[in-house]
Amino acid sequence: MFEGFSQEALDFLNDIRFNNNQAFYAANQARYESFVKRPMRELSDELAPVVQLIDPKLDTRPGRTMSRIRRDTRYTKDKSPFRDHAWLGWRYPGEGRGEGFHMYWGFGPDWLGWGCGCYYPDKPLMDALRLHIRKEADDVRRCLRALDGRFEMYGEDYKKLAVPADVPEDLRALYVKKHFGFEHNGTQADWALWHTHDMADAIAADLSRMAPLHQLMRRMRDEAEHAAQEAVREREAKARAEAQTGAAKPGKLVVRSADEFEF
């Protein structure tokens, strides 16, 4: 059962930040296993039933929800081998960290927070949301109201995106996003909970607040995929029609003079 984190968890993450090498980790791996990994797994297990109520298709296995201490440095200039923070993230099986719209919780030596959002720009997903804002503004408002004012919106804006006149004023900031999310930044009161089982209760309550928005974005993903399939079918139908029309056309009549032929 999750009983909170101890100061030793922050001490380890702070130490690995300034001693980010294999030798230090090898000498301190037991600290990571005991003070970071073990309570993270307990927290993941405790939150799993809440997450599955939100969507039973979400992967709640600790091996999929928990961050790893080792970083993948193949595609980044930062070659530091270890992370100085830890998180939980809930995705669908087969979905990468940079795909989709996820709920998450995490902490480091100097930050604590949780929320939901897109990690990278996702134009098909956001195009589906933009259409939904125009057609079902009240549904979008319902999902945002459920956040209960506990989260701040983040995300990059399009600088020159034309906003149609039928987009409500209160949803225009969301409409122009390339990607977005809502995050709760930990307060002193949250840090006090971090040391206790009450941290799990606080996260569970906020996961429930995020549920309507997460479910909306899952519907938007389905609609984006459906739109993409429809576009493929339309292109294929057009190509078939053009091919059939082209086959039915008579060949071009070429008039030649008698001088072109030898007798």
pLDDT of residue 2: 95
The predicted structure's pLDDT at residue 105: 98
Task: State the Rg of the chain over Cα.
Answer: 26
Tens-place pLDDT, residues 58-85 = 999 999 999 999 998 888 888 999 999 9
d(CA 125, CA 7): 40
How far out from the chain centre does Cα 135 lie?
Answer: 24
pLDDT at residue 239, rounded to an integer = 82
- What is the pLDDT at residue 246? 66
Q: For residue range 7-53, list pLDDT tens digits in order.
A: 999 999 999 999 999 999 999 999 999 999 999 999 999 999 999 99
The answer, yes or no, to whether residue 120 has pLDDT greater than 90, is no
CB 105 within 8 A of CB 185: no
**Dihedral angle, C-alpha 11, 17, 22, 26, nearest 10 °:** 0
Q: Residue 205's pLDDT band (boundaries 50, 70, 90)?
A: very high
pLDDT category at 251 given cuts 50, 70, 90 is low
In the β-sheet with 181-185, what is the strand arrangement from edge to edge? 86-90, 101-108, 111-118, 181-185, 152-154
Which helix (H) or strand (E) segment holds residue 152: the answer is strand 152-154
Beta strands in 23-110 (DSSP E): 86-90, 101-108
With 60 as the cut, is the pLDDT of residue 259 above it? no
pLDDT band at 234 (very low <50, low <70, confident <90, very high): confident
> Given a cut of 90, is residue 125 above it in pLDDT?
yes
Query: For the purposes of burial, counting CB atoms within 10 Å of the CB of 183, is it exposed (0-12), middle (13-18) or buried (19 or more)?
Result: middle
> Tell me, what's the pLDDT at 254?
56
Residue 192, pLDDT above cutoff 50: yes
pLDDT at 255 over 70: no
Residue 263 has pLDDT above 80, yes or no: no
What average pLDDT score do residues 202-229 get?
94
For residues 120 and 95, is the Cβ–Cβ distance under 8 A? no
For 119, 125, 132, the CA distances from 216, given in Å and listed in that order, are 17, 11, 10
Mean predicted lDDT score pLDDT of the chain: 91
Picking from 189, 177, 188, 182, the residue whose alpha carbon sits closest to that of residue 206 is 182
Task: Please report the sign of the dihedral spanned by the C-alpha atoms of residue 123, residue 126, residue 130, residue 132.
Answer: positive
How high is the pLDDT of residue 250? 57
Share of the chain above pLDDT 90, in %: 77
Compute the Cα dihedral for 62, 65, 66, 67 and give only its sign. positive
Q: What is the tens place of the pLDDT at every residue in 131-184?
A: 999 999 999 999 999 999 999 999 999 999 999 999 999 999 999 999 999 999
Using the predicted structure, report yes or no on whether residue 261 has a pLDDT greater than 70.
Answer: no
